[in-house]
A and B are shown apart, each in its own frame.
Chain A
Amino acid sequence: MPLPKDIMNFRWDMANVVKNEGHVADLKSLLLDAQKASDGLVPYASLGAHSQNDYFSNIMINNAKINSMQDYSDVDASLIIGGRYSKKIIKTDVPFSVAGMSYGSVKLPAKISMHLALNKLAKNGIKILMNTGEGGALPWEVYGAKESREHLSKTHWDSILEFTDKLLRANHLEGIDIDELFTREYPLIVQYASGRFWKDPAYLLNADGIEIKIGQGAKIGHGGILPGSKVTELVAENRGILAHKPAHSPSRHLDILGPEDLVAKVLELRELTKWETPIIVKVGASRIYDDLEIILKSYADCATVDGLVGGTGAAPYEVREDIGINTIASLRPIRDAINDYYETHDKDGFKLLVNGGIWDSERIAKTIALGADGVGIGTGFLLAMGCTLIQECHTDICPAGITGSYEKLDVEKSAEGIFNYIKATKIELQNIAGSLGREKIEDIEMTDLSVNDLLTSIISELPFSDGTNHVSKIQTKIDHAINALNLQGGKI
C-alpha cells in the first residue's frame, strides 16, 4: 500500500512530537486516524500484535542453563508429525519449524535464503520443517524431490525451468545453481488456505504434509490479504491470480462452516493423498478449547495453534491487535481439551504445534513444557535475515529488503544468519534439557517452570519459585481481609 505524501510528512512530524514529549500510545492512534482520513480505507499493519502482556518473561525455567561447558549434544531434540492416521510421518531434528511465510508477503531473495539455509542444515544433520504459507509454493519447493520430477513431461519441466529462470533473473539471482536449487532436503508442509492460491495439483501431492489453515493468530476470523502493491507479475503468476490487484482470501473456507465440514475436508484430502500424507489443522487461539476438541475429532494428525502475537504479512490494524488470546494463555485450555479427549479415547500420535511470540530456545522450552510437542517460528527467522521490526511488511518499504524492495537482501549472509540461528538454538535447547538432566527435549515438564507474578500463575497453573501458587497467594490475601474486617476465624 503506497503511503501518500502527507501521511509520510505527518509521520515525520509526529515522530518529532513523540521524541520531544514521549506520547507513544497517542502516536499510534493519531497515525491510524490520519491514514483513515487520507484514503478512507481500513488501516493495515503487519507482524505480530503489541501484546502488553505475553507472560513469557514472567516464566522461568528453574536451574536450566542455555550456555553450558558440558556437551549435551546427545539430547534428543527430534519431533515426529503424522502417523495418527497418515501412513507416512515427518521426522525433524529440532522441535521447531519455519512458520508459514508465503512468497509474495516475503520477497523471493528471502525465500531463497531460507531454502538454501535449510538445505545446508540438512546436509549438516539438522532437518527442519518448513511451512509454505498460504501463497502457494515455489517451483523448487514443489519439485525439489527427485522422484517428483520423474513423471513430468518435457514441456512441463521446461515451462517450470522457464518460470524459475524468470524469477531468478527478476531478482538478479542468475548465479544460483539450478541443480542445487532443485534439491529440497528438508520436509515441506503446504498450506491449504481459503484463498486456494495454487495452480498445480502437485502442490498438494508432492508435499510432505498438508496444513488446513482455518485461522491465524494475527487475523482470526479475517481472510488474508496481499496488498496489490506486492502482487507483482511474478507473484501473480506463481499464485495464478491477477497482477497488481490485492489478493484477498475469504474469511472462512467457503465449504467449511462447522465441524462436520472439517471432517469431510480432511477425509477428502486423505483420499487425495491415499492416506499417506500427514494432515494438520491450524487455528488461531481464541475459543481454543472448543476448536481443539473439534480438531481432535476430525481425523487430523496434528493441530497448529497460533497465539495473538503470531505475525502476518498484512492484517487490518484493529484485527491484529484485538482478536485472539496470548500463546501462553491458550496452553491451559489446550491441555484441558487434549486430556478430556483422551479420557474416552486411546492414546495415539496426535501432535500439537504452537506458534506466536516464540523466538528463542527458552521460549521453545517453556511452550513444550506447557504441553506443546513443537513450535513454529516466523519473526525469529525474519530477524535472522536482518528484520528491523519496523512492522511495515504490508508496504513496500522494508529497510532489510525482506518483505519490500527498498534494499537488496544479501542472500548468502541471510542464509548464514538462519543457519547460525537454528544451529545455536538447537544447542541451547539441548543445554536446557541436559542441564535439567533430561534425555529428550520433550521431557521438559511443567514442574521445571516457575513464575514471578500472580496473573501468570493463574493463567499457566504454574507455581512461584518458593513453591507457593496463585491459590495460596489469594488465600493469604483472604486471611488479611478476614483480619482487617475483624472476622475471627472459627467463631463466626
Chain B
Amino acid sequence: MCGICGLMMDDSKLRHSPVGSILQDMMESQQIRAQDGAGIAIFNKSNADDSFKIKNFRKEMSDYVIDEVKSSSKNISENLQKLRQDPECHFFSFENEMTILKETGLAKDLDRKFGIRKMNGSHGIGHLRIATSSRVTPFNTHPFSTTILPDIAIVHNGEITNYNMLRDSLELEGFTFHTDSDSEVIAVFLASRILKHGDIEKAHREFVAKADGPFTYIAATSDSIAIVRDKFGTRKGIIGYNPGTDDHPPFWAMATDLSALDVVGATTKIETPHPGKPRIFYRN
C-alpha cells in the first residue's frame, strides 16, 4: 500500500534521457504516502550485452550488502541454482539492460546512496513502500523482479489477496519465488506467461482476471511499461503526457497521485486507466 510511479520516453532515439531525475522528482512528491522503503528500476538499451547480472542481498552483521554475479547465458542456470540453495542470500534482481536499486528508508536516501538523479535511460519505474504484510527489510522493498526471465520489474500498490493460491499453483508448475511478499507473484506470473505465449498485453489481462484484491501495479519489461488497476478500480492510478522541452524529450508518466504528474509537468492528456484494463506503452 504504497506510492508508485513510472515513465516511458516517447522518443527512444534519445536513449540517454534523464529518466532518473524525473523518477526521483515523482517519488519525492509522493513521499507522504509511505516511508518504509524506496526503489527504482531504469532501463537503458546501451547497457544491454550478452551477459546477465544476478544481484543478491547478503546479510553482513546487521546490514545487507549487494552481491553481483555476472553470468553468461551458459552458466546462468548454474548460478541461479547456487543462489537458491544459499539461505543467507536474498534475491535482488536479474538484469541485462535494467538496473534495479532499492533500500529501506526515504527516496532522498536512495538518491544520496546511489545517485538516482544521474541515471539515464528510456523508461523506468519507482516505488515507495509502507509495509503491510511483510517485514521492513531491503529485500522486501520494490521493484520486484524474477529469476525466470531477466529485465522484468514491477512496482505495486495494494494487496493481491489471493496471493497464496496464485503462488501455490505457480510453484506447482515449477516456478521459483524468493521473498514472502505478495507483490512478487505479479513478476513471476508475467514471466511465466511471457515464456508461454510471449504476449505481454495478454499476460497482463490474464493476471487481472486471476488476481483478487485492491491493487494498482506498474510493470516494466525491456520494451514496454504498463499500468494496471484491479477490476473494481479500488486503487488509484493516473496517466499524463509531457510534450517535452529542450532538456528532455516528450514522455508518458504514470503515478498513484496526480501531484506526481504535476511536479514533472505531465499534465496533458490526463487519463485514469480503466479498471481491469491494462494500459500499455511500448518503446518505439
Stretch of A29-37, A289-297, A314-322 on the interface side? A289-297
The answer, yes or no, to whether A287 is at the interface (CB within 8 Å) is yes
The answer, yes or no, to whether A258 is at the interface (CB within 8 Å) is yes
- If over half of A's interface residues share one DSSP class (helix, strand or loop), that class is named, otherwise mixed; here it is helix
A195 CA to B122 CA, complexed, in Å? 48
Name the contact of B234 in the complex, choosing from A257, A260, A297 (C-beta under 8 A).
A257
The answer, yes or no, to whether A259 is at the interface (CB within 8 Å) is yes
What are the interface flags for B82-125 relative to A under an 8 Å C-beta threshold, 1 for contact and 0 otherwise?
Answer: 00000000000000000000000000000000000000000000
How many residues of B sit at the interface, in one of the four size bands? 10 to 19
Please name the residue on chain A nearest to B128 by beta carbon. A260
Distance to closest chain A CB from B160 (angstroms): 13
Name the contact of B130 in the complex, choosing from A257, A259, A287 (C-beta under 8 A).
A259
Contact call B1/A290, Cβ cutoff below 8 A: no
A290 CA to B214 CA, complexed, in Å? 17
In the bound complex, residues from chain B placing their C-beta under 8 Å from that of A290 are 132-133
Contact call A260/B235, Cβ cutoff below 8 A: no
Contact call A258/B133, Cβ cutoff below 8 A: no
Q: A257-B235, A258-B1 given as contacts; is B133 within 8 A of A287 (CB)?
A: yes
Chain B 219-244 residues near chain A, CB threshold 8 A: 234-235
What are the interface flags for B35-51 relative to A under an 8 Å C-beta threshold, 1 for contact and 0 otherwise?
Answer: 00000000000000000
The answer, yes or no, to whether B131 is at the interface (CB within 8 Å) is yes
In the bound complex, residues from chain B placing their C-beta under 8 Å from that of A259 are 1, 130, 132
The answer, yes or no, to whether B159 is at the interface (CB within 8 Å) is yes
Please name the residue on chain A nearest to B36 by beta carbon. A297
Chain B 18-40 residues near chain A, CB threshold 8 A: 33-34
The answer, yes or no, to whether B138 is at the interface (CB within 8 Å) is no
A477 CA to B257 CA, complexed, in Å? 57
A287 CA to B164 CA, complexed, in Å? 14
Contact call B130/A297, Cβ cutoff below 8 A: yes
Name the contact of B214 in the complex, choosing from A257, A287, A293, A340 (C-beta under 8 A).
A257
The answer, yes or no, to whether B158 is at the interface (CB within 8 Å) is yes
Contact call B130/A260, Cβ cutoff below 8 A: yes
A259 CA to B135 CA, complexed, in Å? 14
Please name the residue on chain A nearest to B34 by beta carbon. A260
Please name the residue on chain B nearest to A258 by beta carbon. B1
In the bound complex, residues from chain A placing their C-beta under 8 Å from that of B130 are 259-260, 297
What are the interface flags for A337-353 relative to B under an 8 Å C-beta threshold, 1 for contact and 0 otherwise?
Answer: 00010000000000000
Please name the residue on chain B nearest to A294 by beta carbon. B132
Contact call A260/B131, Cβ cutoff below 8 A: no
Contact call B131/A293, Cβ cutoff below 8 A: yes
Chain A 159-202 residues near chain B, CB threshold 8 A: none
Please name the residue on chain A nearest to B236 by beta carbon. A257
Please name the residue on chain B nearest to A297 by beta carbon. B130
In the bound complex, residues from chain B placing their C-beta under 8 Å from that of A293 are 131
A297 CA to B1 CA, complexed, in Å? 13
Which of A257, A260, A340 is most buried by chain B, counting CB atoms within 10 A of its CB? A260
Q: Identify 12 residue pairs between A and B in the complex whose beta-carbon atoms are under 8 Å apart, listed by A's number.
A: A257-B1, A258-B1, A258-B132, A258-B158, A259-B130, A259-B132, A260-B1, A260-B2, A260-B33, A260-B34, A293-B131, A294-B132
Closest 8 CB pairs of A and B: A258-B1, A290-B133, A260-B33, A259-B1, A259-B130, A257-B214, A260-B1, A290-B132
Besides A257-B1, A258-B132, A260-B34, 9 more A-B contacts (Cβ < 8 Å) are A257-B234, A258-B1, A258-B158, A259-B130, A259-B132, A260-B2, A260-B33, A290-B132, A293-B131
